[in-house]
Amino acid sequence: MEVNPPKQEHLLALKVMRLTKPTLFTNIPVTCEEKDLPGDLFNQLMRDDPSTVNGAEILMLGEMLTLPQNFGNIFLGETFSSYISVHNDSNQVVKDILVKADLQTSSQRLNLSASNAAVAELKPDCCIDDVIHHEVKEIGTHILVCAVSYTTQGGEKMYFRKFFKFQVLKPLDVKTKFYNAETDEVFLEAQIQNITTSPMFMEKVSLEPSIMYNVAELNSVNQAGECVTTFGSRTYLQPMDTRQYLYCLKPKKEFAEKAGIIKGVTVIGKLDIVWKTNLGERGRLQTSQLQRMAPGYGDVRLSLEAIPDTVNLEEPFHITCKITNCSSERTMDLVLEMCNTNSIHWCGISGRQLGKLHPSSSLCLALTLLSSVQGLQSVSGLRLTDTFLKRTYEYDDIAQVCVVSSAIKVES
């Protein structure tokens, strides 16, 4: 009967521990009223407990720190840190020790070792220590592979490795909405939800725009000359809470004049989110490039550059329109017609020639009109005809104005 030789024990021992910050120790208060059977016994025990706060024993507060009792959760955007120690448990001197740490994800394998050079020798009861760091950029299963190779005194080459599997979870749920304004501005609403089990301190949520846009954050107000955030002084995001951020993107001047370019722009930019968790552990996420559905303006676009909010009844007021040839190839010869409605009456000559408008170019036009009806009135009735193609473009509900009685003074 063949007997297999016993498996040879390794001379070196490998230990791997995750490095995380401690947490605040919280006690569970147990108390009762003085007329109950225990009397003041429970309260006295809590006062004598060194983990409680003097004067606040019945609250789940503590001044002591506790070391992590388990591996814990790792979230996308955080920095994974681990302590690796190789100890010589034998009474022999071991030579040519090489410790290698790799992180295997679903898409790649990363070398996390600080040095790939071998240690010449390791005496008994001595150890080799290393600390590795990695910013987690993928969710899902991760495997930390630690491999150790060495040579015994007898010249035999030995090798072993250990695997440590852990899951990377998503900390935030980010949803975006786009609103396209008539003035080529784009408003972005970002809804950010904390889907972890602990509060977050939102250090920064910013939008990095694409090359064609400038961005303005709309998440603060001016109070007494100071810029105050709309979220208050405490920017904590509790578990499962959602916060909305608003941004306005305006085309840069060199691109705003080229209507055809702005019309087709879909890439807006990306969000940069930085937060801190318990005891200041930092996390950071950058979204992929955010894309919107480009608005379709057709061949000719009419937008308003200037219009008053409030006007007097039966008194002329002025608006400024911008007409843009959105075609990239065809020149247009335009005629403007102004059609009166039940409440809006145009002043001026209808059917006048505007001349030729070259591709991707625009012209500004000042118009005068008045309203015969009070209330919120819609500006309608403009018609543009391209004489080359005999095609007419209708523009109704361009904007709205509030019409008040002439007895009410309108502030300019």
**Domains and their CATH numbers in the chain:** 12-19+69-169 (2.60.40.10), 26-63 (no CATH), 172-294 (2.60.40.1230), 300-404 (2.60.40.10)
What pLDDT is stored for residue 220 in this prediction? 84
* Burial degree of 103 (CB within 10 A; 0-12, 13-18, 19+): buried
What pLDDT is stored for residue 408 in this prediction? 61
* pLDDT for 103 beyond 80: yes
* pLDDT for 102 beyond 60: yes
In this prediction, residues 189-195 reach a mean pLDDT of 94
pLDDT band at 147 (very low <50, low <70, confident <90, very high): very high
With a pLDDT cut of 70, the percent of the chain lying above it is: 90
Flag the least confident range among 16-25, 256-265, 390-399: 256-265
What pLDDT is stored for residue 1 in this prediction? 38
pTM of the model: 0.66
In this prediction, residues 9-23 reach a mean pLDDT of 85
**Average pLDDT of every residue of the chain:** 84
Structure-model confidence comparison of residues 190 and 264, the more confident one: 190
What pLDDT is stored for residue 261 in this prediction? 54
Contact 79, 282 (CB under 8 A): yes
Question: Residue 336 has which token pair?
Answer: 């403007």
Q: For the residues of 218-279, what is the DSSP string, one character each?
A: -SEEEETTEEEETT-S--EE-TT-EEEEEEEEEE-HHHHT-HHHHHT--EEEEEEEEEE-GG
What pLDDT is stored for residue 8 in this prediction? 61
In this prediction, residues 193-213 reach a mean pLDDT of 90
pLDDT band at 155 (very low <50, low <70, confident <90, very high): confident
In this prediction, residues 292-308 reach a mean pLDDT of 78
Instruction: Give the integer Cα–Cα distance in Å for 72 and 78.
Output: 13
* pLDDT for 28 beyond 80: no
